[in-house]
């Protein structure tokens, strides 16, 4: 077995050193009834070649985003990641290290986390950011719980523009502790509708921008209404690149930002691992979930970094912790941070403009197709269209023809009654030829 | 906020201590170690390290939605970026460098085949919401992984989507809660019993799901006190959470009795599977009466720890809990694979959804690659070698250090207390920092809480005997030095790491969690 260094002779010598007759002596605490002799019913040891063949065969059965005209978004985006990123995150020292419990020999990890936290805080326009959570949807759930702790109120108002999976993941968790949610009806451009739903029990209002239909909104008014009622505003962002062009949530008055960072530095990966960005105002720090890296000095006065504020966390506070999370998305943070460092402000802005440009071109091409109605007035790189046919069926037919034309809204929320709505995303990776093929084949499918 | 100086002061020789610093360097650099400023402190403002086409739009169609102020993001050219991150990397300890004996963390070798497989475009370059007909291979992989996990654990079902161990605990307890709700017993069962030796995540998770936590005592031999458990079980208890093998590195001998009592009381048995590595292929949790157990793919199944995540924590479930598993899950229809994304579609009792998509696909690929590589025979050998390595360390150190539970074998990790340091004025922390000077990453310190000054050593099966001997020799030399009164070696340690001991109190007292532009500069941020 290529990953196991002990030889039969080693094992024998070690058993002798321990004073055991056989390996079974070391398992004597296992009750007789639960001991299993022989191997479980699974295949036996396999060489690299064999494993590689089997897995490559499975991988070969999937249509990859880079090889077809591709327009899927809805919370996960196909972007180009510079080669440097994937090389660096595979360095032994980053890949095979762990949570920096011993800061003196983990300054590499700690410094990139500190840089990451600064990048996220600046990008979101907030004062502080943590070292990341699992993904955007779990970050939203944590945000809602945090808002109930801060306000001592028990209700969350959720805009109809928030990604339905995010709503579901949040409701699943917060309902368990008795937090009420009021999820408003799905609508392309309905962020302001949350204002009417705010009352004295509202802990927070959750809005997404750009929302699941792609609509970009200035949420300043919502922030003002929430604050006037003593509630917090949580802004969800599923496309991090958008913040390179659009006003930051912080600038618009957000108290908590829960975002998905996958777009920067991270592959699509069929949905994970992703990276939850979580940023807030400094005064709310003690109520936040997750890990922080902070600056300090060593015994000789040199600057260094450590994990800090851990008295909020489960390993210290146990059942009184702000969250049960015990990790962050370390390597995904690193990928995010490297990509962001390469982009810099100018590169990020350029990247964001390219995304917007491609999406506008895609919209214009689709708007020219008879029967297609563009639903989203102002968007970043994703928009919703109304089709004259069932969107899920159109998507399937298009896929059978080798075009991945987007995500039918009904896949996210089958009961919303929006079966004719298709979500279409474009990024810097979208070619003009892709847009042409998309428009031509969609026109053909709709005319059939 | 003011910034601190970025160039370290030259290190002064430590009085009476023969170390490297007889000739302090002039710049603060040392050998191959360069001081590396933050990206915000360089010349990167306005720079970029990517070549992108010039956009044909200026975004003016978005009007007042467009950002006007600078964001505060410096850029680096590619060579500068590469140097920055490589220099940072060299300040990290890593498994690929030397043993990383953190107890409860299972820091085993991370095979690179797994990385190669996870990066196949057919797995990494597919979107979670593509039509299912275009991702049949991905669903097949998930189905295969589920088969391996359920077979190894002897459990009928698995929920793959939890994104980490603690997320898996959440999944398990939500399923337990849903099962009690289905029986109409949720209102009366509001307690979860947790042993004192448990990971902090256990009580935190129970509280997160709305339960009150009751601690269960531990016996003198480091196991759950069954009498205390029996006394605390009752019609108001929803579940027990037991780690097995436990955090003292011991197998719960009375596990069958524990599960029997739990089920008799109408409660469910949640097992924290953090230490599954010790028994994989030899013992099936399903045979122990477990109802739910998370499996840390980043521990037992070698997916990289990555400086702290991302991990993955699928949860295996018993017959009683399987109907409550959250969406999504994969079904093999015989005519292809189907991803069930809405619990309403197929299982009315599923408790909802834990995250936006399908969980940690990248980790599924790595874990399956690892499992297939070992096979059922190799995995059994994994457990045996992991346990053998831990017992070897315990046996070779017990004459100098004090094992917390000297009687009988340990499982995958050896636990020592600080009894042997009594009278030396040296703490577990001091000892750990001195290990850093010798080139080793310390073991887990001060956990589990039930053992004073705990030192929890988990070597894993991927350490060779030669490496173990090297580690043991270093530990012995240090232990002898401690007992000989060589206090300075410990009190000031580490002397040889990139930095000396860091002031954690200061970091917590006045948190500085981000870089800020020096006052008077016109930088954003």
A2 occurs within a structural domain: no
Q: Could you tell me if B248 lies within 8 Å of chain A, comparing CB atoms?
A: no
CA distances from B328 to B182, B226, B299 (A): 20, 37, 24
* pLDDT score at B8: 46
Shared-domain flag, residues A308 and A429? no
How far does Cα B381 stand from its chain's mean position?
23
Determine whether A125 is exposed, middle or buried from the number of CB atoms within 10 Å of its CB (0-12, 13-18, 19+). Answer: buried
Q: Tell me the pLDDT tens digit for each residue of A403-444.
A: 999 999 999 999 999 999 999 999 999 999 999 999 999 999
In angstroms, the separation between the Cα of residue A213 and the nearest Cα of chain B is: 15
Q: Is A294 close to B512, i.e. CB distance below 8 A?
A: yes
The domain boundary, picked from A339, A365, A389, lies at A339
The domain boundary, picked from A339, A366, A391, lies at A339
Q: Could you tell me if B21 lies within 8 Å of chain A, comparing CB atoms?
A: no
Nearest to B128 among A1, A271, A275 (CB): A271
Beta-strand pair B268-272/B237-243: parallel
Minimum CA–CA partner of B429 in chain A = A102
* pLDDT score at B403: 98
Query: Which among B139, B159, B309, B342 is the top mutation candidate for probing chain A, defined by the most A β-carbons within 10 Å of its own β-carbon?
Result: B309
Shared-domain flag, residues A371 and A387? yes
A13 occurs within a structural domain: no
Is residue A447 scored above 50 in pLDDT?
A: yes
* Among B residues 442-471, those touching chain A with beta carbons less than 8 Å apart: 442, 444, 447, 461-465, 467
Name the residue range of residue A354's domain: 345-447
Radius of gyration of chain A (CA): 25
Minimum CA–CA partner of B352 in chain A = A172
Nearest to B352 among A172, A243, A299 (CB): A172
Q: What is the spatial distance between Cα A418 and Cα A425, in angstroms, rounded to a whole number?
A: 18
A135 occurs within a structural domain: yes
Which residues of chain A does B102 touch, with a Cβ-Cβ cutoff of 8 Å? 98, 101
The domain boundary, picked from A339, A364, A388, lies at A339
Shared-domain flag, residues A314 and A443? no
Shared-domain flag, residues A115 and A245? yes
A428 occurs within a structural domain: yes
Residue with tokens 């997160």: B208
A49-54 long-range Cβ contacts below 8 angstroms, 24+ apart: A50/B372, A51/B113, A51/B117, A51/B369, A51/B372, A51/B373, A52/B113, A52/B116, A52/B117, A54/B372
Q: What is the spatial distance between Cα A56 and Cα B12, in angstroms, rounded to a whole number?
A: 56
Comparing A342 with B24, which gets the higher pLDDT?
A: A342
In angstroms, the separation between the Cα of residue A241 and the nearest Cα of chain B is: 13
A66 occurs within a structural domain: no
Q: Tell me the pLDDT tens digit for each residue of A45-66.
A: 999 999 999 999 999 999 999 9
Q: Tell me the pLDDT tens digit for each residue of B166-205.
A: 999 999 999 999 999 999 999 999 999 999 999 999 999 9
Q: Is A326 close to B200, i.e. CB distance below 8 A?
A: yes
Q: Could you tell me if A298 lies within 8 Å of chain B, comparing CB atoms?
A: yes
The CATH number of whichever domain residue A107 belongs to comes to 3.40.640.10
Which residues of chain A does B117 touch, with a Cβ-Cβ cutoff of 8 Å? 51-52, 55-56, 59
In angstroms, the separation between the Cα of residue B141 and the nearest Cα of chain A is: 7
Q: Is the dihedral of CA A162, A165, A167, A173 positive or negative?
A: negative
Shared-domain flag, residues A195 and A333? yes
* pLDDT score at B33: 84
Instruction: Tell whether pTM > 0.85.
Output: yes
A216 occurs within a structural domain: yes
Rounded to 5°, angle at Cα B492 from B486 and B493: 90
The CATH number of whichever domain residue A433 belongs to comes to 3.90.1150.10
Nearest to B513 among A41, A109, A128 (CB): A128
Nearest to B122 among A62, A103, A295 (CB): A62
Minimum CA–CA partner of B153 in chain A = A40
Domain count of the fold of chain A: 3
Q: Could you tell me if A433 lies within 8 Å of chain B, comparing CB atoms?
A: no
Q: Could you tell me if B498 lies within 8 Å of chain A, comparing CB atoms?
A: yes
**Continuous H helices in B183-274:** 201-208, 226-232, 255-264
Rounded to 5°, angle at Cα B150 from B117 and B118: 10
Mark the ranges of chain B whose per-residue pLDDT is less than 50.
1-19
Which residues of chain A does B253 touch, with a Cβ-Cβ cutoff of 8 Å? 29, 31
Shared-domain flag, residues A176 and A243? yes
In angstroms, the separation between the Cα of residue B201 and the nearest Cα of chain A is: 5
Q: Is A59 close to B85, i.e. CB distance below 8 A?
A: no
Beta-strand runs (E) in A131-264: 155-158, 180-183, 202-208, 232-237, 256-260
Shared-domain flag, residues A215 and A89? yes
A196 occurs within a structural domain: yes
Which residues of chain B does A168 touch, with a Cβ-Cβ cutoff of 8 Å? 352-353
Q: Is B376 close to A135, i.e. CB distance below 8 A?
A: no
Shared-domain flag, residues A367 and A331? no
Shared-domain flag, residues A311 and A349? no
Q: How confident is the model at residue A190 (pLDDT cuts 50, 70, 90)?
A: confident
CA distances from B74 to A185, A338, A376, B523 (A): 41, 11, 33, 10
* pLDDT score at B18: 46
Minimum CA–CA partner of A138 in chain B = B355
* pLDDT score at B74: 97
* pLDDT score at B32: 84
Contacts of B221 (CB under 8 A, 6+ apart): B250, B405, B407, B408
Domains of chain B: 113-371 (3.40.640.10), 375-498 (3.90.1150.10)
Shared-domain flag, residues A176 and A111? yes
Q: What is the spatial distance between Cα A206 and Cα A160, in angstroms, rounded to a whole number?
A: 9
A6 occurs within a structural domain: no
Shared-domain flag, residues A350 and A330? no
Which residues of chain B does A75 touch, with a Cβ-Cβ cutoff of 8 Å? 128-129, 356-357
* Among B residues 399-438, those touching chain A with beta carbons less than 8 Å apart: 408-409, 411, 432-433, 436
* pLDDT score at A352: 98
* pLDDT score at B16: 39
Q: Is A318 close to B203, i.e. CB distance below 8 A?
A: yes
Shared-domain flag, residues A330 and A365? no
Query: Which among B24, B224, B356 is the top mutation candidate for probing chain A, defined by the most A β-carbons within 10 Å of its own β-carbon?
Result: B356
Radius of gyration of chain B (CA): 26
Q: What is the spatial distance between Cα B473 and Cα B466, in angstroms, rounded to a whole number?
A: 10
**Continuous H helices in A229-318:** 314-317
């Amino acid at each position: 077995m290529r990953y196991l260094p002990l030889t039969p002779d080693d094992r024998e010598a070690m058993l002798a050193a321990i004073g055991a007759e056989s390996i079974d002596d070391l398992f004597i605490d296992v009750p007789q009834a639960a001991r299993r002799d022989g191997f479980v019913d699974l295949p036996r040891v396999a060489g690299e070649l064999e494993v590689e063949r089997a897995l490559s065969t499975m991988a070969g059965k999937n249509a990859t985003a880079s090889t077809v005209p591709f327009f899927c978004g809805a919370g996960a985006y196909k972007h180009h990641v510079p080669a440097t990123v994937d090389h660096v995150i595979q360095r032994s020292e980053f890949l095979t290290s762990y949570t920096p419990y011993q800061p003196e020999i983990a300054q590499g990890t700690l410094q990139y986390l500190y840089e990451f936290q600064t990048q996220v805080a600046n990008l979101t326009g907030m004062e502080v950011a943590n070292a990341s959570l699992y993904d955007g949807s779990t970050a939203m759930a944590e945000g809602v719980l945090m808002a109930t702790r801060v306000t001592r109120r028990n209700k969350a108002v959720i805009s109809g523009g928030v990604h339905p999976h995010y709503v579901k993941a949040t409701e699943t968790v917060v309902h368990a502790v008795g937090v009420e949610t009021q999820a408003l009806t799905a609508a392309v451009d309905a962020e302001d509708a949350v204002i009417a739903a705010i009352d004295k029990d509202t802990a927070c209002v959750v809005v997404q921008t750009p929302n699941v239909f792609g609509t970009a909104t200035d949420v300043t008014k919502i922030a003002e209404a929430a604050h006037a009622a003593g509630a917090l505003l949580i802004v969800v962002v599923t496309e991090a690149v958008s913040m390179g062009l659009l006003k930051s949530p912080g600038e618009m008055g957000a108290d908590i930002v829960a975002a998905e960072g996958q777009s920067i530095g991270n592959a699509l990966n069929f949905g994970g691992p992703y990276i939850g960005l979580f940023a807030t105002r400094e005064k709310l720090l003690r109520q936040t979930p997750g890990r922080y890296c902070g600056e300090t000095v060593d015994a000789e006065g040199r600057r260094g970094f450590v994990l800090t504020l851990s008295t909020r966390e489960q390993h210290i506070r146990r059942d009184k912790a702000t969250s049960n999370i015990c990790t962050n998305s370390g390597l995904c943070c690193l990928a995010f941070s490297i990509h962001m460092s390469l982009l810099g402000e100018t590169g990020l802005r350029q990247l964001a403009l390219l995304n917007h440009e491609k999406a506008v071109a895609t919209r214009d091409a689709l708007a020219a197709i008879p029967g297609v109605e563009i639903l989203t007035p102002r968007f970043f790189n994703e928009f919703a269209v109304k089709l004259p046919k069932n969107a899920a069926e159109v998507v399937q037919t298009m896929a059978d023809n080798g075009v991945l034309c987007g995500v039918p809204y009904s896949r996210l929320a089958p009961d919303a009654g929006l079966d004719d709505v298709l979500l279409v995303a474009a990024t810097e990776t979208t070619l003009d030829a892709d847009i042409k093929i998309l428009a031509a084949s969609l026109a053909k499918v709709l005319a059939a | 906020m003011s910034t601190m100086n970025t160039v370290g002061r030259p290190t002064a020789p430590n009085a009476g201590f023969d170390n490297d610093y007889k000739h302090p360097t002039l710049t603060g650099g040392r050998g191959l170690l360069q001081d590396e400023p933050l990206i915000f402190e360089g010349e990167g403002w306005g720079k970029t390290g990517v070549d992108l086409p010039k956009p044909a739009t200026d975004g003016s169609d978005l009007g007042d939605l467009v950002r006007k102020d600078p964001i505060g993001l410096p850029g680096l050219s590619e060579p500068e970026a590469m140097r920055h991150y490589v220099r940072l990397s060299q300040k990290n300890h890593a498994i690929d460098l030397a043993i990383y004996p953190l107890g409860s963390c299972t820091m085993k070798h991370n095979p690179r085949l797994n990385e190669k497989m996870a990066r196949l475009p057919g797995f990494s370059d597919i979107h979670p919401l593509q039509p299912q007909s275009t991702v049949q291979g991905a669903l097949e992989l998930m189905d295969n992984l589920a088969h391996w996990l359920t077979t190894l654990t002897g459990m009928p079902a698995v929920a793959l989507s939890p994104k980490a161990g603690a997320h898996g605990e959440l999944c398990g307890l939500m399923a337990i809660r849903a099962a009690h709700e289905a029986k109409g017993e949720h209102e009366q069962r509001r307690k979860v019993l947790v042993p004192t030796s448990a990971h902090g995540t256990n009580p935190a998770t129970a509280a997160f799901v709305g339960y009150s936590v009751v601690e269960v005592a531990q016996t003198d031999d480091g196991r759950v006190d069954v009498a205390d458990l029996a006394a605390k079980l009752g019609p108001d208890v929803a579940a027990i959470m037991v780690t097995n093998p436990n955090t003292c590195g011991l197998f719960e001998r009375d596990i069958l009795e524990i599960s029997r009592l739990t089920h008799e009381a109408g409660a469910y048995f949640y097992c924290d599977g953090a230490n599954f590595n010790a028994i994989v292929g030899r013992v099936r949790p399903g045979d122990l009466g477990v109802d739910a157990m998370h499996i840390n793919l980043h521990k037992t199944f070698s997916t990289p720890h990555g400086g702290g995540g991302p991990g993955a924590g699928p949860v295996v479930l018993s017959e009683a809990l399987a109907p409550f598993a959250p969406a999504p899950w994969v079904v093999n229809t015989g005519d292809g694979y189907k991803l069930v994304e809405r619990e309403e579609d197929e299982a009315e009792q599923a408790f909802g959804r834990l995250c936006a998509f399908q969980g940690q696909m990248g980790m599924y690929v790595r874990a399956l690659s690892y499992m297939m590589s070992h096979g059922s025979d190799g995995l059994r050998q994994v457990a045996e070698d992991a346990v053998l390595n831990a017992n070897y360390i315990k046996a070779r150190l017990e004459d100098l250090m004090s094992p917390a539970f000297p009687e009988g074998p340990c499982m995958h990790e050896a636990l020592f207390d600080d009894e042997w340091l009594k009278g030396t004025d040296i703490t577990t922390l001091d000892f750990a920092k001195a290990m850093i000077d010798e080139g080793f990453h310390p073991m887990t310190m001060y956990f589990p809480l039930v053992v004073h000054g705990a030192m929890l050593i988990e070597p894993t099966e991927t350490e060779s005997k030669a490496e173990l001997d090297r580690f043991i020799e270093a530990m012995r030399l240090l232990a002898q030095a401690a007992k000989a009164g060589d206090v300075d070696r410990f009190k000031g340690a580490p002397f040889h790491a990139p930095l000396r001991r860091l002031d954690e109190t200061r970091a917590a007292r006045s948190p500085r969690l981000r870089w800020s532009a020096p006052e008077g500069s016109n930088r954003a941020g």
